[in-house]
Amino acid sequence: MADAFRMSDLGLLRYYLGIGILERRGMAGCNPCQVPMATCLKLSKRSTEPLVDATAYRSIVGSLRYLVNTRPNLPFVVGYVSRFLEEPRKDYLAVVKQILYYVAGTKSWGLRYKRKEEQV
């Protein structure tokens, strides 16, 4: 392929498509949790909690939405916190952080495709 295209060998892959969700948030060494969200949790758009940085909240949720493509255990919770992108509040951010703690504890989970061995 190097004959057809100009390219550089950068060595072994350490970072895939710039996705380092936990590292970017300074949560690489966080304590993982076992569930992405409490079962009885009810968030409301009428929350009176203080507003948080909307850009940061949207960035985290956007990264999680990307992660959903390979993590079938996340779509519901990520969709739930996506409802609050317009005016993110402190309690919504707490739920997003819990999802990140869950992701930290389940880093090895995801989709794996194996080549089917041909039968002789």
- Would 34 be classed as within a structural domain? yes
Total domains in the chain come to 1
Q: Give the closest residue to 21 by CA, choosing from 113, 114, 96, 109.
A: 96
The alpha carbon of residue 92 and the mean position of all alpha carbons in its chain are separated, in whole angstroms, by 15
- State the pTM of this model: 0.74
Q: How confident is the model at residue 119 (pLDDT cuts 50, 70, 90)?
A: low
Q: Give the integer Cα–Cα distance in Å for 53 and 110.
A: 30
Q: Is the pLDDT of residue 85 over 50?
A: yes
- Would 117 be classed as within a structural domain? no
- Would 48 be classed as within a structural domain? yes
Residues whose CB falls within 8 Å of the CB of residue 55, separated by 6 or more in sequence, listed in order: none
- Would 30 be classed as within a structural domain? yes
- Would 8 be classed as within a structural domain? no
Average pLDDT of the chain? 84
Radius of gyration of the chain (CA): 18
- Would 28 be classed as within a structural domain? yes
Q: Is the pLDDT of residue 12 over 70?
A: no
90-105 and 54-67 helices cross at what angle (nearest 10)?
30
CB-neighbour burial class of residue 68 (10 A; exposed 0-12, middle 13-18, buried 19+): middle
Range(s) of the domain holding residue 46: 21-105
pLDDT tens, residue by residue, 14-70: 555 445 777 777 777 778 888 889 888 899 999 999 999 999 999 999 989 988 988
- Would 36 be classed as within a structural domain? yes
- Would 12 be classed as within a structural domain? no
- Tell me, what's the pLDDT at 11? 67
Q: Is the pLDDT of residue 95 over 90?
A: yes
